[in-house]
Structure 1
Amino acid sequence: MHTRCLISVLYGDYDLIPRRNLWGALCNLSAVISDEPWLVLGDFNAVMDDSEVHGRAEDTSVSMTEFRTCIRDSGLVQLPFTGCPFTWHNCSEGPRSLWKRLDRMLVNTIWMDAWPSSSYISVLPSTSDHSPLILTGMDRGTAMYETVCKLKLLKAVFRQQKKLKGNLTENVKQAKNFLDKAQALFTTYKEDIFLDLVKSCRRVYSVAVKLEISMLQQRAKMERHPP
């Protein structure tokens, strides 16, 4: 059993030319990492084929071909995943809405030999336009990793609440939105990590509702008894 693994976290530039430099660097790195488990994850800012795009997008055939070639030449394979098939949204609605699978985890064959049941979960985005990715199915460190990811999700909830503290009605809407997403995740995966997330989001929603009710009561009192 391996006691050491290598993890590379990357970000692919939006423009094609700088991404080519990244693909070259990744291929060069793969030549150095030849006998250890290797995980590559992040926002690649590229898709592999048209099935990873939902909505109207520009022609990216050259980008897709170069991305597939990089993965092949680096000796990497896609780690199996469950959850949302698209990991990025342009935050638009109607005909302008666009979803893409820009975030993923790739591994070498030595990683799969070490952890053949490993995979990851693509979680629905909350306040970010990108989906969190949760690594699962490993013999070591999985519980701690999932806990860290759960805390990152909760930070987004509390950050949004703090940002909108001056608008209590909007707080309620946001908190309800977070709660609905958390419940959907638990319904889909039936895992304790998402049950904990539901409980935390429910507490946030409860506090938001109480604050809004208090505000409405004070407003009504002032209208009945103006100064």
Structure 2
Amino acid sequence: MRVKTPNLGKVYLNLCPGWCLTHNNAHHDNGRIVIGWCPCSFHVNILSMSSQFIHCEVKPTQGGKGFFCTFVYGFNEISSRGALWDGIREIAKKVEGGWVLMGDFNDLSSVDDRIGSTVRVAEIRPMMDCLNECGLTDVKASGKYFTWTNKQEGTARVFSRIDRVIANSIWLDSFDQAAVTFLPEGDFDHTPVVLRVYEVPLIKRPFKFCMWCYYSSMMDAVKEAWRQPVQGCHMYQVVEKLKRVKGVLRTLKKQGFGEAERDLIQATEEFTMIQDKLHENPGNIECIEQERIVRGKVQRAKKCVQAMLQQQAKLNWLKCGDENTRIFYQAIKARRRQNRIHAIHNEQGESVETHEKVSTAFLEYNKNLFTGKEQQQVVLSTLIERGKSITEEHKRIIMCPVTKEDVRRVMFSIPDDKAPGADGFNSCFYKKCWEIVGD
């Protein structure tokens, strides 16, 4: 908020009575930033300020995670914003914990951040360099992409994305349910910005077959569940047996079977202990044999962890390896944040934000889309004749009986890391258990 000094009294009296407010008017004559907070909800400690930012520490009064927050209002001139980037760099050196910055930076970080006027690389470089050096990225946002307009007519109209909310990785990990909404600007030239941390919905996670194929006990469990007879047609038998397998695997997971990372830690510790004994007694045949056995356990545990992480991260281009574990985790977190939908407009144009209402909006839209009236327009035969059509040979191939070998060939051609079906089983399950489930 930008308020000149003579008007501050009106703000204190009329805007959010009972709130605490502070400003940086001492650093600029025209007044640039005013921030307010409810003292019943937050403790705010002002750490530093300048003519272009106010930096503070925020702590909830009811407990919870505290963080650092910087409110920004950058100058219009490129040369004047140099002090802003230097100030942010200095803060980054001192910050130890979550840090979020928000406001009008009056600058661009991409050539796509403005239309109606040319964007030069030299113009975006100062902000890009600062964000990269400080490890800052945009918080997931929805709503209006361009946050400012000059309100001019015709070809003179310019749209820019100069207002933003950015944070470091610690803040993003601490508040992974946070999302930014850029509202319509109305009569103003800037769009209002709302940063909100949504409540985590308690929902049951669907079954997903992942890294179990590396465990020998999984094969025994699948074999036991699959051999139990089921009455009905072939398709019904397959579906029911898959349900049984799913239940068995879930039971194994509850018993600690699915804790791949824990298994890796325990196997690694055991491996280290045996190697220490072997160094004390290099000729011990028993220790040499134990080292060989435990090495196999460590390798299997690593494969399980990497398979799990790779599937969750959807990084098909990245090969499994110890050096990639951090990349996997970062990609998983970024993917989960990006895939979350906290708010949406339903078919009536209303904005809904709760998990139940968002789910209902998706269901209603797709129900109306796929259960609407059938198309009554007749397709002209002349249009069909212009395109390609199947031949008699194609018909013969299509009508041929499907053999077990055909199913096997298609199944084994699907990569292991492809998304599973609606039942949660991917091609990796069928490949590993083909001798059991193939018939």
Q: TM-score, normalised by structure 1?
A: 0.59
Instruction: Decide whether the 8 Å contact of 2:141 with 2:180 is kept in 1.
Output: yes
By how many angstroms is 1:51 displaced?
A: 1.1
Q: 1:206-217 to 2 correspondence within 5 Å?
A: none
**Contact 2:111 2:119 (C-alpha < 8 Å) held by counterparts:** no
Residue 42 of structure 1 and its aligned partner are, at CA, apart by 0.5
Cα shift at 1:136: 2.1
2:159 to 99, 105, 123: 99
Give ranges in structure 1 of 5+ residues lacking alignment: 141-182, 193-227
CA distance, structure 1, for counterparts of residue 350 and residue 93 of structure 2: 39
Which residue of the partner structure matches residue 108 of structure 2?
47
Q: 1:71 to 1:2 in 2, by over 3 A?
A: farther
Q: Indicate conservation of the 8 Å contact 2:150/2:157, yes or no.
A: yes
Secondary structure of 1:187's partner? coil
- For 1:135 and 1:32, the matched residues in 2 are separated by 24
Asked if residue 17 in structure 1 is aligned to residue 79 in structure 2, the reply is: yes
Whole-Å separation in 2 of the counterparts to 1:64 and 1:45: 11
Q: TM-score normalized by structure 2?
A: 0.32
Cα distance in structure 1, aligned partners of 2:179 and 2:77: 29
- The residue that corresponds to 1:135 in the other structure is 195
Partner of 1:29: 91
Give 3-state SS (helix, strand or coil) of 1:39's partner. Answer: strand
Offset, 1:43: 0.4
For residues 190 and 54 of structure 1, what CA distance do their matches in structure 2 show?
30
Correspondence for 1:118 among 169, 178, 202? 178
Shift of 1:99: 0.3
Secondary structure (helix, strand or coil) at the match of 1:126 reads coil
Match of 1:162? Answer: none
**Cα 1:188–1:71, aligned 2, differ >3 Å: closer, same or farther?**
farther
> What are the ranges of 5 or more consecutive residues in structure 2 without an aligned counterpart?
1-62, 201-344, 355-439
Q: CA deviation at 1:3?
A: 2.5
Q: 1 or 2 for the larger relative contact order (CA 8 Å, sep ≥6)?
A: 1
SS at match of 2:349: helix
Residue identity in the other structure for 1:187 = G
In 2, the alpha carbon distance for the partners of 1:72 and 1:2 equals: 29
CA–CA distance in structure 2, aligned partners of residues 12 and 60 of structure 1: 19
Structure with bigger helix share is: 1
Number of corresponding residues? 147
1:145 is aligned to none
Q: Is the 8 A contact 1:37 1:110 kept in 2?
A: yes
**Root mean square deviation, CA, Å:** 2.4
Kindly provide the amino acid, as one letter, of the partner of residue 190 in structure 1. V
For 1:107, the aligned partner's letter is A
Q: 1:61 aligns with which of 121, 128, 135?
A: 121
